[in-house]
């Protein structure tokens, strides 16, 4: 085919003589560019809003105070001759400035009353510089956010360990992927390799419908229809449980996994299949040994995208998985058991966000700030997964000539 020499650039050249028209063209192009750049502003807006309040969380006075209290406690305790694990246990009590905390710490240190402790704490509060307070707040909050194992920021006795929420998110995602991966892949294989064109054009939109149903409807199904079935099998299971939410979420994610996998399977060149058939392989063998390995990058990308959807899903888990962050118990085994048991109610990161949003936390309060700390974690997690998905699908793509 002969290449045309007429390009948009040559048209622009021709417009040189008509400045009015040229100006209009430039303006329109600028408007379109502005629309595209708007999307960058949206991302920037998300990052800005989340990290602005998120940073406020990690530098909140609450944490500075608890850091100072820890210091005061440590000073008094070492003066009283305590050391080792006993000392650490006492320091761990110093979390906030409620009177209960002061008296419980004072009880553990010989010859110290709550008043003495409070005095030492107030002294420290006045002598410490602002910069050091900020640093204390930062270290203290990071420590408590990532190292604590309980999440109770809405209670009087606040704990800020994010892991119970991450655990909930992971467990719901794992249950949902246990449904979505096999069903999604079988669907992709059947639709792209077995189904007749008629059946394909009938079934594919039907499967896509699964993704179009509002998630609150899936929540209704999970809570009112699936949970009772689960309870009839396991009478101890609560009505809000991870299993029912995860099963329904799996159904919801099937199209995400299947449609990208279908594209990946269709991208495998025909000659590869023909070659395998010519060697005498049956259809199943061709699918499992030739098509599947060749489409792996797309399939893995679709699975990662599915997980990312599961992690970000809100209404379904809020309705069906409950609002109770998992508590791990005292022993190692009870913690493991609590972490992987789907027959319990478990709050996820998104469920916590919904819970705070429902409770109408006042702006500037520590509860409001935890909302954004959790949102930032959620955003970073899903973004990492989306980037990974894109990376896998482009980097590990098998290229055939």
Partner 1 sequence: MAVTPIASGASRFNPQLSKRHQAGRIFETVCFLGTIAALIVLVLLMYRVFSEGIPRLDRNAFLAYPSQLNPKEAGFRASLIGSIMVLVLTVVMALPVGVGAAIYLEEYAPQNRFTRLLELNIANLAGVPSVVYGMLGLGLFVRLFGLGPVVLAGAMTMALVILPVIIVAARESIRAVPQSFRQASYGLGATRWQTISNHVLPYAVPGILTGTIIAMSRAIGDAAPLLVVGGLVFIQADPGLFSRFTVLPLQIFFSIGQPQAAFQELAAAGIIILLIVLLFLNAAAIYIRNRFEHRYRS
Closer Cβ to partner 1, 391 or 400, answer by number:
391
Closer Cβ to partner 1, 8 or 197, answer by number:
8
CB of 260 to partner 1, least distance (A): 12
* In the block, residue with structure tokens 């807006």: 45
Report how far residue 328's alpha carbon sits from residue 349's, in angstroms, rounded to the nearest whole number.
17
* Closest listed residue to residue 207, CA positions, set 188, 182, 221, 189: 188
Written as six digits, the tokens of 214 are 């509002």
Closer Cβ to partner 1, 12 or 88, answer by number:
12
CB of 82 to partner 1, least distance (A): 44
CB of 34 to partner 1, least distance (A): 8
Closer Cβ to partner 1, 10 or 78, answer by number:
10
CA distances from 329 to 2, 238, 335 (A): 75, 18, 6
Phi, psi of 181 (to 5 degrees): -65, -55
Helix axes 242-266, 163-189, angle to 10 degrees: 40
Q: Exposed, middle or buried: residue 398 (CB in 10 Å: 0-12, 13-18, 19+)? A: middle
Q: Which residues pair with 151 in a beta bridge?
A: 160
Closer Cβ to partner 1, 120 or 268, answer by number:
268
151: three-class secondary structure by DSSP:
strand
CB of 288 to partner 1, least distance (A): 8
Q: Exposed, middle or buried: residue 165 (CB in 10 Å: 0-12, 13-18, 19+)? A: buried
DSSP characters over 154-197: TSSS--B-SHHHHHHHHHHHHHHHHHHHHHHHHHHHIIIIIS-H
Closer Cβ to partner 1, 225 or 400, answer by number:
225
CB of 162 to partner 1, least distance (A): 16
CB of 378 to partner 1, least distance (A): 6
Closer Cβ to partner 1, 141 or 350, answer by number:
350
CB of 261 to partner 1, least distance (A): 12
């Amino acid at each position: 085919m002969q290449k045309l020499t007429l390009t948009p650039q040559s048209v622009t050249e021709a417009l040189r003589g008509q400045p009015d028209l040229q100006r209009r063209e430039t303006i329109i192009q600028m408007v379109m560019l502005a629309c595209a750049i708007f999307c960058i502003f949206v991302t920037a807006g998300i990052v800005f809003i989340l990290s602005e309040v998120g940073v406020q969380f990690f530098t909140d006075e609450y944490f500075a105070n608890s850091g100072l209290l820890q210091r005061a406690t440590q000073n008094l305790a070492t003066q009283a001759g305590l050391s080792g694990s006993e000392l650490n246990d006492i320091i761990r009590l110093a979390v906030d400035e409620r009177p209960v905390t002061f008296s419980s710490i004072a009880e553990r240190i010989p010859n110290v009353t709550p008043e003495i402790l409070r005095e030492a704490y107030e002294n420290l509060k006045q002598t410490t510089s602002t910069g050091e307070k900020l640093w204390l707040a930062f270290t203290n909050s990071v420590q408590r956010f990532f190292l604590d194992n309980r999440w109770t920021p809405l209670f009087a006795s606040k704990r800020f360990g994010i892991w119970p929420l991450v655990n909930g998110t992971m467990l719901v995602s794992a249950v949902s992927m246990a449904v979505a991966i096999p069903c999604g892949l079988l669907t992709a294989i059947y639709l792209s390799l077995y189904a007749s064109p008629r059946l394909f054009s009938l079934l594919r939109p039907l499967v896509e419908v699964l993704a179009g149903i509002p998630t609150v409807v899936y929540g209704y199904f999970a809570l009112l229809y699936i949970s009772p079935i689960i309870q009839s099998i396991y009478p101890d299971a609560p009505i809000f449980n991870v299993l029912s939410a995860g099963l329904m979420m799996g159904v919801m994610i099937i199209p995400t996994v299947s449609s990208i996998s279908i594209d990946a399977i269709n991208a495998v060149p025909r000659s590869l299949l023909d070659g395998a058939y010519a060697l005498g392989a049956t259809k199943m063998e061709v699918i499992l040994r030739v098509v599947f390995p060749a489409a792996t990058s797309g399939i893995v990308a679709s699975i990662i995208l599915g997980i990312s959807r599961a992690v970000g899903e809100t209404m379904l888990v809020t309705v069906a998985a409950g609002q109770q962050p998992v508590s791990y118990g005292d022993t190692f085994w009870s913690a493991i058991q609590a972490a992987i048991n789907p027959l319990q109610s478990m709050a996820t990161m998104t469920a916590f966000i919904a819970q705070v949003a429902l409770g109408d936390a006042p702006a500037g309060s520590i509860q409001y700030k935890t909302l954004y700390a959790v949102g930032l974690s959620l955003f970073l997690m899903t973004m990492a997964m989306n980037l990974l998905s894109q990376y896998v699908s482009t980097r590990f793509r098998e290229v055939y000539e």
